[in-house]
Amino acid sequence: MNYIKWGFIGCGEVTEIKSGPAFSEVDGSSVVAVMSRTEERARTYAVRHGVPKWYTDAQELIDDPDVNAVYVATPPSSHATFAIMAMKAGKPVYVEKPLASTYEDCARVNRVSEETGVPCFVAYYRRYLPYFQKVKDIVNSGQIGKVVNVHVRFAVPPREEDQTGKLPWRLQPDIAGGGYFYDLAPHQLDILQDIFGVIIEARGICANRGGLYQAEDSVSACFQFENGLPGSGSWCFVAHESAREDHIELIGEKGSVSFSVFDYKPIRLHTSDGMESISVPNPPYVQYPLIKKVIEHLQGLGICECTSVSATPVNWALDRILGKF
């Protein structure tokens, strides 16, 4: 494929800044169609972003001969369905994270990708951001020595919409796969697996302590990577503001490095030489580096390893921690 002509299934918030504009920033790529079940949303999005076509039916967008690649930006419960529809039509897919709302659906996507020979990529864009590339460089260069333990700590207060009674889709397990844990923890677990390899053991304890909704709001977990490295994590989505935290710490034999996943606070490197604070800016469109890799892969100019196969272990670990199987 020389020129990639994208069709978007879903045109919600994530496509406005994080991802959407990046598809037209890369040479040899543009957005030619968008789809939303709501006609007004599809039409106004197309007009606002200069997209020539809009649809209210996903199959019609996939069947459009002008579309040769599909971006699935819907809630997780429909990711597998739309990805499979596109791949069966011979069109490569870029899917928002997590790949699906269950591990079993991820396996379905991988089977169809293998059967059709059509690639499926997943939007774990943090793998390619300069901020996390720096963290990986610190680990791989041996500055903190052999990493012996990993710990994730995340706590935020409830959002206003959590207390209105009309819950956002992220708090509806049949749509999202779980609560906020299933929405946010994938980024944390994916970047850790990108550094240390696949998680092969995981278990957790989940609770609903706030009583604001049915999904879990507090999770504690332990896990182990394929290289034997142990890790643990705690997530709370009903914390007091004073407990707000976005922190991952990698403890090594010669030091430690800590960083955030969502706030992009300066990376803190502790060694026998002292503490160093490292600020690393990210591009305006945070998905741009990954989208560029995907497009170059489709153009035969490189290889993007952020595929559905590499994304599936995240869902496996999520489902194990939540006790879904």
Q: Quote the pTM value.
A: 0.95
How much is the average pLDDT of 202-210? 97
Identify the pLDDT of residue 161.
86
Band the pLDDT of 12: cuts 50, 70, 90: confident
pLDDT in tens, 137-152: 999 999 999 999 999 9
14-73: per-residue pLDDT in tens? 898 789 999 999 999 999 999 999 999 999 999 999 999 999 999 999 999 999 999 999
- H helical segments located in the chain: 13-16, 22-25, 39-49, 58-63, 79-88, 103-116, 130-140, 173-176, 180-196, 288-298, 308-321
In the block, tokens 């972003």 appear at 49
How is the beta sheet containing 93-95 ordered, strand by strand? 53-55, 29-35, 4-9, 69-72, 93-95, 120-122
Q: How far apart are CA 22 and CA 29, in angstroms?
A: 9
Average pLDDT of the residues in 186-209: 98
Segment 272-283 shows an average pLDDT of 96
